[in-house]
């Protein structure tokens, strides 16, 4: 066995031990290890030692990243280096391999087989140890066959002399691009083939034309590739051989050695060649997978071996392939084993030349075992969880039986409890597709066989052939049992129970199934032992020990500084087994910084005191984790000597929670401070630096940056630094002006914009971010960051970034929530200031509009009324100068002009008056007036109009003389309008004006008509400016809709009120209620 000297550079002791154990499991090589924790220690060891291979962790206490590899490569350029990293970064892996690393393995996804293979290939590639030759290379004497490896950059590693037998590569190098062997037109096909092997994790093959074949009779080659050792970073193993010899030799020469060495030895999976769905060749591996002999499968249809539900898919792909489509498919399907069992496989098929035509050639990887192992492991894992909480035997038995029946080949199971060392057995539980064991228990021969097996105390699994030799064969046949198993459960040298299993389907138990059933039986034994022990403890004098063992606190006893007892919780807390703890110094569990303090407390205590010594300290666990504990130490007598009984309560989570609450409370207080400052400051910008300082101190970060979104002239959305706060003691080492102005459409800012605009916070250690994000933030000395979006209403305004540059910090959920409150507080302040600015701007616009309106009214008064007054003046002159004998038509024209002019003047006056009222620019001069005379005068003005319409107009005064305080002009205008409306909207009937007393409340004036009335819908809107019930150019009545608006304003300006009652088609009553006396 080869001996290999390994230098392992790993700063974590647990990881170093794990890597050593993985390599120690190798059966082909013996490894000798030298471990170092830092790069400096590794450099020292090179002075006196030599090594065959180096396993290197990139992140060490004194070096990190690819620089670690470069330093080691410079120190030992010829030593093969395999990188083992916790960072799954494909770019980093490719870069390391490009610079000469042999492989890049990711912690947590490495197996012992992977580790051994990678180390062996690394030494082979660097020449420190050659690869072992594949057995049976005698085929190379007859056909040129080239073995090679393909790295992540698709560079081919092989022996140039071996390659020269097939192709003139034009290179004497041991590594060069594989595409050099083929024409440029085949480059995409080569790339797709290699990518297919890497992505599918399955062996594949293809046929390619050579660019410069050594022998013109060998224009094409068959290439077979195996998947990488580690996905995405490992090497591909491959073989290349002549295509025409490969396929022709299989049929024409019947060369079994050729088939074995090319398709079995180089391909570890099953291989087949099918033409017109008929198998022309299968290898031994495929025959073994399906339980047939090779000769039994040759000549049979491939569809006979494929599960019915997959036949159509496989046959369709075969027809397409034979039709000349260039496809290469990899998929999973089920094949039928000779026994009827289904085998789950990965099938990879390709089209290859065969004899005078073409055939399908495929590789088959049997994944049944992997699927079954995973399924059986899940059953055991779930059972272990169920049994951990089982409190009685009935629930234990139920969990055991249920778990057994979930195993795919078990159809029935039973549990037997035994007494007197299996002399007496009782069928405790039996389940399955049929009650097999209840029936078997009635058979005398079966019971005797059962007792005999239990006395032998070994598991018994009998196949269908073995069952035929038993005395109970008839009973078993009657029950349909094809295979039978019995596993005794032994405790303290005595058989206490037995687990029986039966299969009605399979003639033989699969070894994995047997192993799983035995594991389940061992669980039963362990649980029964645990339950019995617990019962014994409850009933024994050792009750106190049961309490200690079940305690949530760690309890241990130490004497002379050495542990003499430790409960299970102590083992859980420290990570050491109880055996390890029994040989340890008690003080080695205490953090070095706390030892002297606790030792001083222990030395000064009174040993005669019964009161426990209470203190808090830090505990060192086996994996290096630090836990916080509350200690209570009491002096006791143990085994006739003085000792200390110590209980430790793990308060790590509580302290962490308290710290989390403290941080979030500080941030919430900072948010409260910000809200107060924003409310008492007119502009948030005046106090933002003070607020950012509060946020930074509360979050205990190095820098707080406020970024605002902005758009440039070209429409690009960019991030601009608005304000920044830096911790005072770090201002010399940190930049205050962080890079900004970046377009959100560019990476990685596009991802930031996407998440932040949706209201999501980005909080992480930068090692966990994408590579481009790491690069941007690392340039600003950031190790952890939290970006919290700020919204102005519904619009994403920008974000606050909290930068931690001293250490890798994991952000707590409560911290992020509190930061969100701070960001919302800032957003509310921004929104409030913006709203305030908008209100001020709106007020300024309103004031400006009001000034313009006043100017318009003054201008209108002058520019409109002046021409109208001129028209009236000239009309009077024309009337006076006209011949007294002028005919009636002309005089009627004069009257029409006068009426129209007065109407215009009234309209202009109405518009100006309503505007003045709205601008509070109208003065009411209230003087004592005789209301009865004023009403009578108004009636007389409109009596002629009433008579022209043949309306009866009445004035009813029940008050006599009555006096009010009013502005004569505005009150007269109001009454004129009400009376005029009553006449205008009354086609026939009566208009009545009534002046009466309103029960001592003051004079009441009513104008009532029998006219057209007002609809209910219009009553609510009749006092609105410019509103009429009848609108449009074809309306029946004139007016602009300001009359009633002005009436209401005039009346209410006098301290009076106006009400209306109306019925459509029957009439309307307006009532004006004046205040009492001269109020």
pLDDT tens figures, 11-55: 877 778 878 877 876 656 788 889 898 988 888 887 778 888 899
Give the 3-state secondary structure of residue 129: coil
Instruction: Please state, in angstroms and rounded to a whole number, the distance separating the CA atoms of residues 631 and 634.
Output: 10
Domain boundaries, the chain: 2-126, 134-253, 269-366, 371-539, 547-650, 656-840, 923-1073
> Would you state the pLDDT for residue 921?
64
**Pair 626, 619: CB distance under 8 Å:** yes
Identify which has the larger pLDDT, 446 or 234.
446
Instruction: Please state, in angstroms and rounded to a whole number, the distance separating the CA atoms of residues 4 and 678.
Output: 70
Instruction: Please state, in angstroms and rounded to a whole number, the distance separating the CA atoms of residues 1018 and 317.
Output: 80
Smallest Cα–Cα separation from 511: which of 454, 450, 461? 461
Instruction: Please state, in angstroms and rounded to a whole number, the distance separating the CA atoms of residues 1007 and 1062.
Output: 12
Pick the CATH number of 656-840 from 1.10.8.60, 3.30.450.40, 1.10.357.10, 1.20.120.450: 3.30.450.40
Q: Residue 378: pLDDT band by 50, 70, 90 thresholds?
A: confident
The helix (H) or strand (E) run that includes residue 935 is helix 931-948
> Would you state the pLDDT for residue 326?
63
> Would you state the pLDDT for residue 759?
92
The CA angle 114-119-120, to the nearest 5 degrees, is 100
Give the 3-state secondary structure of residue 701: coil
Quick one: angle between helices 888-918 and 1043-1053, nearest 10?
Answer: 50
Fold of 371-539: Beta-Lactamase (3.30.450)
Give the mean pLDDT of 1019-1036. Answer: 66
Q: Is the pLDDT reported for residue 923 higher than 90?
A: no
Give the mean pLDDT of 870-897. Answer: 74
> Would you state the pLDDT for residue 1068?
93
Q: Residue 854: pLDDT band by 50, 70, 90 thresholds?
A: low
First-to-last C-alpha distance (Å) of the chain: 124
Give the mean pLDDT of 614-642. Answer: 86
Instruction: Please state, in angstroms and rounded to a whole number, the distance separating the CA atoms of residues 353 and 248.
Output: 8
Instruction: Please state, in angstroms and rounded to a whole number, the distance separating the CA atoms of residues 261 and 283.
Output: 10
Q: Residue 799: pLDDT band by 50, 70, 90 thresholds?
A: very high
Q: Is the pLDDT reported for residue 1027 higher than 80?
A: no
Q: Is the pLDDT reported for residue 477 higher than 70?
A: yes
Quick one: angle between helices 13-24 and 112-126, nearest 10?
Answer: 80
Identify which has the larger pLDDT, 972 or 243.
972
> Would you state the pLDDT for residue 144?
60
**Pair 44, 74: CB distance under 8 Å:** no
Smallest Cα–Cα separation from 58: which of 88, 79, 34? 88
Beta strand 204-209 pairing with 220-225:
antiparallel
> Would you state the pLDDT for residue 162?
64
Integer-rounded Cα Rg, in Å, for the chain is 51
> Would you state the pLDDT for residue 787?
94
Instruction: Please state, in angstroms and rounded to a whole number, the distance separating the CA atoms of residues 155 and 538.
Output: 70
Counted residue by residue, the chain has a size of 1079
> Would you state the pLDDT for residue 888?
74
Least reliable range by pLDDT among 211-220, 439-448, 451-460: 211-220
Instruction: Please state, in angstroms and rounded to a whole number, the distance separating the CA atoms of residues 573 and 968.
Output: 100
**Pair 242, 154: CB distance under 8 Å:** no
Give the 3-state secondary structure of residue 427: strand
In the beta sheet, which residues pair with residue 489? 497
Q: Is the pLDDT reported for residue 173 higher than 60?
A: no
Instruction: Please state, in angstroms and rounded to a whole number, the distance separating the CA atoms of residues 1072 and 994.
Output: 10
Q: 631 CB contacts (<8 Å, ≥6 apart)?
A: 598, 613, 614, 615, 616, 617, 646, 647, 648
Average pLDDT, the chain: 80
Give the 3-state secondary structure of residue 346: strand
Instruction: Please state, in angstroms and rounded to a whole number, the distance separating the CA atoms of residues 790 and 798.
Output: 5
**Pair 651, 683: CB distance under 8 Å:** no
Calculate what percentage of the chain has a pLDDT beyond 90.
10
Per-residue pLDDT tens for 484-530? 888 888 877 788 888 999 998 888 888 888 888 888 888 887 787 77
Q: Is the pLDDT reported for residue 128 higher than 70?
A: no
DSSP 566-599: E-HHHHHHHS--HHHHTTSBGGGGB-HHHHHHHH
**Pair 772, 92: CB distance under 8 Å:** no
**Pair 940, 972: CB distance under 8 Å:** no
**Pair 991, 1068: CB distance under 8 Å:** no
Instruction: Please state, in angstroms and rounded to a whole number, the distance separating the CA atoms of residues 33 and 52.
Output: 11
Q: Sheet with 424-432: list strands edge to edge.
A: 424-432, 412-419, 494-503, 483-491, 460-462
Instruction: Please state, in angstroms and rounded to a whole number, the distance separating the CA atoms of residues 669 and 378.
Output: 49
Q: Residue 126: pLDDT band by 50, 70, 90 thresholds?
A: low
Beta strand 717-726 pairing with 795-804:
unpaired
Q: Residue 140: pLDDT band by 50, 70, 90 thresholds?
A: very low
> Would you state the pLDDT for residue 1038?
62
Whether cis (ω within 30° of 0) applies to the bond prior to 748 is yes
What are the CA-CA distances from residue 235 to residues 39, 648, 1005 (Å)?
Answer: 27, 51, 108
* Equal CATH topology for 134-253 and 656-840: yes
Give the mean pLDDT of 330-343. Answer: 84
Quick one: angle between helices 511-539 and 393-405, nearest 10?
Answer: 170
Q: Is the pLDDT reported for residue 156 higher than 50?
A: yes
Q: Is the pLDDT reported for residue 232 higher than 90?
A: no
Give the 3-state secondary structure of residue 223: strand
Fold of 269-366: Beta-Lactamase (3.30.450)
Identify which has the larger pLDDT, 648 or 363.
648
Give the mean pLDDT of 871-880. Answer: 74
The helix (H) or strand (E) run that includes residue 825 is helix 813-881
> Would you state the pLDDT for residue 409?
82
Fold of 547-650: Beta-Lactamase (3.30.450)
Calculate what percentage of the chain has a pLDDT beyond 70.
85
Q: Buried (b) or exposed (e) across 811-826, using 16+ Cβ within 10 A?
A: bbebbbebbbbbbbbb
Q: CATH number of the domain at 923-1073, please?
A: 3.30.565.10
**Pair 15, 108: CB distance under 8 Å:** no
Give the mean pLDDT of 254-260. Answer: 39
Q: Residue 785: pLDDT band by 50, 70, 90 thresholds?
A: very high
Smallest Cα–Cα separation from 786: which of 772, 766, 806, 771? 766
Give the mean pLDDT of 115-125. Answer: 75
Per-residue pLDDT tens for 392-442? 888 888 888 888 988 878 999 999 888 766 667 888 888 888 888 888 888
Q: What HEC string does 612-641 produce?
A: CEEEEEEEECCCCCEEEEEEEEEEEEECCE
Fold of 134-253: Beta-Lactamase (3.30.450)
Q: Is the pLDDT reported for residue 994 higher than 90?
A: yes
In the beta sheet, which residues pair with residue 53? 6
**Pair 131, 76: CB distance under 8 Å:** no
Q: Residue 1008: pLDDT band by 50, 70, 90 thresholds?
A: very high
Give the mean pLDDT of 251-262. Answer: 40
Other Cβ atoms within 10 Å of 860 Cβ, number: 14
Give the mean pLDDT of 319-333. Answer: 73
> What's the half-sphere exposure (Cβ side, CA atoms, 13 Å) at 553?
15
DSSP code for 756: H
Quick one: angle between helices 813-881 and 652-680, nearest 10?
Answer: 20
Q: Residue 261: pLDDT band by 50, 70, 90 thresholds?
A: very low
Other Cβ atoms within 10 Å of 728 Cβ, number: 8
> Would you state the pLDDT for residue 895?
74
Q: Is the pLDDT reported for residue 991 higher than 90?
A: yes
Instruction: Please state, in angstroms and rounded to a whole number, the distance separating the CA atoms of residues 660 and 662.
Output: 5
DSSP code for 448: H
Q: 851 CB contacts (<8 Å, ≥6 apart)?
A: none
Q: No. of H helices and E strands in the chain?
A: 33, 39
Q: CATH number of the domain at 2-126, please?
A: 3.40.50.2300
Q: Residue 355: pLDDT band by 50, 70, 90 thresholds?
A: low
Instruction: Please state, in angstroms and rounded to a whole number, the distance separating the CA atoms of residues 935 and 1004.
Output: 12
Smallest Cα–Cα separation from 995: which of 977, 975, 1011, 1023? 975
DSSP code for 60: B
């Amino acid at each position: 066995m080869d001996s290999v000297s390994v230098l392992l550079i790993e700063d974590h002791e647990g990881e170093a031990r794990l890597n050593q154990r993985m390599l120690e499991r190798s059966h082909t090589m013996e490894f000798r290890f030298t471990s170092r924790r830092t790069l400096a220690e590794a450099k020292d060891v090179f002075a006196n030692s030599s090594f065959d291979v180096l396993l290197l962790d990139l992140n060490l206490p004194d070096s990190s990243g690819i620089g670690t590899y470069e330093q080691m490569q410079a120190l030992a350029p010829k030593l093969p280096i395999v990188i083992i990293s916790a960072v799954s970064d494909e770019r980093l892996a490719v870069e390391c391999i490009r610079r000469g690393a042999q492989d890049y393995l990711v912690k947590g996804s490495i197996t012992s087989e992977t580790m051994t293979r990678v180390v062996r290939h690394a030494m082979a590639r660097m020449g420190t140890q050659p690869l072992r030759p594949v057995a049976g290379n005698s085929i190379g004497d007859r056909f040129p066959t080239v073995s090679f490896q393909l790295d992540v950059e698709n560079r081919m590693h092989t022996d140039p002399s071996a390659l020269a037998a097939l192709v003139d590569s034009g290179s004497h190098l041991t590594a060069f691009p594989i595409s050099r062997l083929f024409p440029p037109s085949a480059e995409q096909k080569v790339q797709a083939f290699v990518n297919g092997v890497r992505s599918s994790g399955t062996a594949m093959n293809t046929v390619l034309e050579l660019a410069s074949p050594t022998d013109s009779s060998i224009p094409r080659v068959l290439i077979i590739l195996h998947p990488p050792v580690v996905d995405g970073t490992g090497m591909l193993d491959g073989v290349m051989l002549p295509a025409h010899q490969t396929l022709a030799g299989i049929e024409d020469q019947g060369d079994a050695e050729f088939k074995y060495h090319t398709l079995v030895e180089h391909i570890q999976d099953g291989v087949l060649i099918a033409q017109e769905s008929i198998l022309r060749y299968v290898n031994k591996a495929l025959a073994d997978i399906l339980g047939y002999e090779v000769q039994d499968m040759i000549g049979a249809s491939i569809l006979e071996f494929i599960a019915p539900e997959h036949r159509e898919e496989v046959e369709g792909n075969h027809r397409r392939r034979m039709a000349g489509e260039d496809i290469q498919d990899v998929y999973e399907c089920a094949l039928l084993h000779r026994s009827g069992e289904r085998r789950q496989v990965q099938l990879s098929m390709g089209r290859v030349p065969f004899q005078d035509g073409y055939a399908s050639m495929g590789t088959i990887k049997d994944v049944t075992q992997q699927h079954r192992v995973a399924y059986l492991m899940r059953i055991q894992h779930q059972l272990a969880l169920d049994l951990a909480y089982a409190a009685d035997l009935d629930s234990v038995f139920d969990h055991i039986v249920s778990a057994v029946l979930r195993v795919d080949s078990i159809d029935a199971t039973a549990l037997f409890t035994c007494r007197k060392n299996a002399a007496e057995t009782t069928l405790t539980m039996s389940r399955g597709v049929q009650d097999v064991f209840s029936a078997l228990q009635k058979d005398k021969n079966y019971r005797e066989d059962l007792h005999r097996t239990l006395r032998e105390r070994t598991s018994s699994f009998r196949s269908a052939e073995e069952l035929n030799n038993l005395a109970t064969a008839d009973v078993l046949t009657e029950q349909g049992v094809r295979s039978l198993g019995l596993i005794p459960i032994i405790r303290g040298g005595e058989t206490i129970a037995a687990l029986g299993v039966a299969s009605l389907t399979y003639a033989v138990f699969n070894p994995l199934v047997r192993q799983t059933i035995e594991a389940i039986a061992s669980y039963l034994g362990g649980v029964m032992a645990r339950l019995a022990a617990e019962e014994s403890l409850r009933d024994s004098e050792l009750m106190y020990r049961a309490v200690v063992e079940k305690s949530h606190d760690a309890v241990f006893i130490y004497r002379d500084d050495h542990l003499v007892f430790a409960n299970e919780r102590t083992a859980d807390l420290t990570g050491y087994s109880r055996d390890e703890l029994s040989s340890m110094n008690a003080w080695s569990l205490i953090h070095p910084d706390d030892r002297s303090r606790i030792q001083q407390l222990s030395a000064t205590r009174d040993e005669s005191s019964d009161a426990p010594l209470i203190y808090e300290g830090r505990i060192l666990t086996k994996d290096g984790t630090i836990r916080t504990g509350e200690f209570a130490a009491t002096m006791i007598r143990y085994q006739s000597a003085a000792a200390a009984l110590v209980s430790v309560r793990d308060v790590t989570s509580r302290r962490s929670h308290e710290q989390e609450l403290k941080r979030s409370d500080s941030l919430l207080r900072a948010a409260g401070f910000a809200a107060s400052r924003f409310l008492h400051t007119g502009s948030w910008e005046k106090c933002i630096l003070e607020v950012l300082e509060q946020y930074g101190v509360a979050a205990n970060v190095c820098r707080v940056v406020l970024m605002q979104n902005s758009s440039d002239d070209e429409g690009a959305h960019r991030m601009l630094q608005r304000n920044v706060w830096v911790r005072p003691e770090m201002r010399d080492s940190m930049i205050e002006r962080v890079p900004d102005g970046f377009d959100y459409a560019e990476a990685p800012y596009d991802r930031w914009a996407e998440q932040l605009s949706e209201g999501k916070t980005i909080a992480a250690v930068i090692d966990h971010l994408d590579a481009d994000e790491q690069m941007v933030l690392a340039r600003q000395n950031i190790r952890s960051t939290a970006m919290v979006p700020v919204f102005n209403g519904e619009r994403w305004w920008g974000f606050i970034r909290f930068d931690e540059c001293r250490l890798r910090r994991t952000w707590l959920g409560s911290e992020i929530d509190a930061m969100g409150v701070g960001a919302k507080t800032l957003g509310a302040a921004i929104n409030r200031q913006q709203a305030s600015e908008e209100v001020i701007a709106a007020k300024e616009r309103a004031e400006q509009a009001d000034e313009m309106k006043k100017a318009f009214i003054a201008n209108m008064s002058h520019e409109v009324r002046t021409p109208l007054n001129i028209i009236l003046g000239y009309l009077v002159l024309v009337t006076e100068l006209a011949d007294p004998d002028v005919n009636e038509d002309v005089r009627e024209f004069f009257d029409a002009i006068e009426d129209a002019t007065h109407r215009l003047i009234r309209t202009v006056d109405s518009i100006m008056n309503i505007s003045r009222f709205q601008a509070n620019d109208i003065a009411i001069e209230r003087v004592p007036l005789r209301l009865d005379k004023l009403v009578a005068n108004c009636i007389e003005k409109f009596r002629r109009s009433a008579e022209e319409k043949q309306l009866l107009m009445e004035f009813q005064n029940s008050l006599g003389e009555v006096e009010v305080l009013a502005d004569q002009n505005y009150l007269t205008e109001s009454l004129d309008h009400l009376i005029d409306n009553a006449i205008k909207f009354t086609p026939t009937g009566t208009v009545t004006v009534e002046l009466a007393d309103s029960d001592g409340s003051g004079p009441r004036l009513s104008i009532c008509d029998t006219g057209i009335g007002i609809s209910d819908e219009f009553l609510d809107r009749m006092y609105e400016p410019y509103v009429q019930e009848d609108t449009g150019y074809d309306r029946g009545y004139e007016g602009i809709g300001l009359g009633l608006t002005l009436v209401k304003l005039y009346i209410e300006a006098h301290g009076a009120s106006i009400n209306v009652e109306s019925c459509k088609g029957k009439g309307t009553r307006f009532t004006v209620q004046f205040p009492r006396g001269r109020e």
